[in-house]
Amino acid sequence: MSKTSKKLCELQSELRSFQDIWHGGFFLGDPADPAFGLWGLTSFIGVSHAIYLACIKPFVNENTTVLEIGCGRGAWTKLMLGAREIYCLDALPPEHNRFDDYVGRHDHIHYVTVEDFSLKEVPLAVIDFVFSYDALCHVSFDGISEYARNLFLRMRGGAHGFWMVADYHKYNEFVSRQDRYNVLQCLLPRKKYPLLGKLLRRFYCFLNRWNARRHHLDFLDEHENEQACPGRWYHAGLRRTCEMLERNGFTIVQADMGFDYRSPLIHFRK
């Protein structure tokens, strides 16, 4: 038997070895279930880290010029230090945010304390990547729209952007379904130990209520006015924001990346 024929026989034998296992098809759980994990509690990664892996890491490198809107202390900025240049915009000065303490001083970072939504401090046609998370949710829809209008000319053709905005409908659904998003549900016994399952469910209900109080998870009124007050959320809305971005010349790549169960994260490009 030739080497080729022998190898072919070995490969066919390998396939036949599956015939008597996994009857009914290999299945450990539904991947669409947020509380499902292949390996229990060790199966999960945080929402923020998932956003970094999918929305920042593939797009930022030594040739990228970045614009971050609402940098705060610089939690996301620190993940983009490998970029060629970074423009960090925030309503508060770096001393207030203690930005340098966290991120450090770098010559390629341009921190701008903004007084309006004009983006006048950012040069035209230089931005390759735009990112904003947990910032534009605190800006009125008019403010977001003004940012978008002034952003178009500052981005290069083909540049990508990721914006998180507030959508009260998605937020309220998240608040009403806390049980669905509790990762500890992966520990619930499916068939055996009914008494243990009952006790664990009661414990999880307690944890959900405690978590809601700790993070102030209250329902929001979509008809609330847009009167400014410190730190408030504004109902920009996913559909309305996407339509506004399209009116300003952008293409929506994905209306909601889906990583954040609380708020939409819009992927768009010029």
> pLDDT for 58-101, tens place per residue?
999 999 999 999 999 999 999 999 999 999 999 999 999 999 99
More confident position, 69 or 206 = 69
> How far is residue 160 CA from its own chain's centroid?
15
> Quick check: 24 pLDDT over 90?
no
Give the per-residue pLDDT at 180: 73
- Mean pLDDT (whole number) for 109-122: 97
Q: Which of 12-21, 129-138, 145-154, 211-220 has the lowest mean pLDDT?
A: 211-220
pLDDT band for position 17 (cuts 50, 70, 90) = confident
Per-residue pLDDT at 206 exceeds 80 = no
d(CA 246, CA 148): 10
Question: Closest Cα partner for 266 from 46, 73, 69?
Answer: 69
CA–CA gap between residue 270 and residue 268 (Å, rounded): 7
- Domain ranges for the chain, please list them: 41-170+233-269, 179-214
Q: Tell me, what's the pLDDT at 19?
A: 87
Q: Of 214, 204, 179, 202, which Cα lies nearest the Cα of 34?
A: 179
For the domain 41-170+233-269, what is the CATH superfamily, name and number? Vaccinia Virus protein VP39 (3.40.50.150)
Side chain identity at residue 150, one-letter code: N
Q: Which two tokens stand for residue 158?
A: 């083909």
Could you tell me the pLDDT band of residue 55, with boundaries at 50, 70 and 90?
A: very high
Query: In the chain, which ranges are E strands?
Result: 65-69, 85-90, 109-113, 127-132, 155-164, 251-254, 265-269
pLDDT at 102 over 80: yes
What value does the mean pLDDT take over residues 112-121?
96
Claim: this prediction has a pTM higher than 0.85: no
Q: How far apart are CA 123 and CA 121, in angstroms?
A: 7
Q: For residues 18-38, give the mean pLDDT.
A: 79
pLDDT, residue 199, reads 72
Find the mean pLDDT for residues 143-172: 97
In whole angstroms, give the CA distance from residue 241 to residue 224. 17
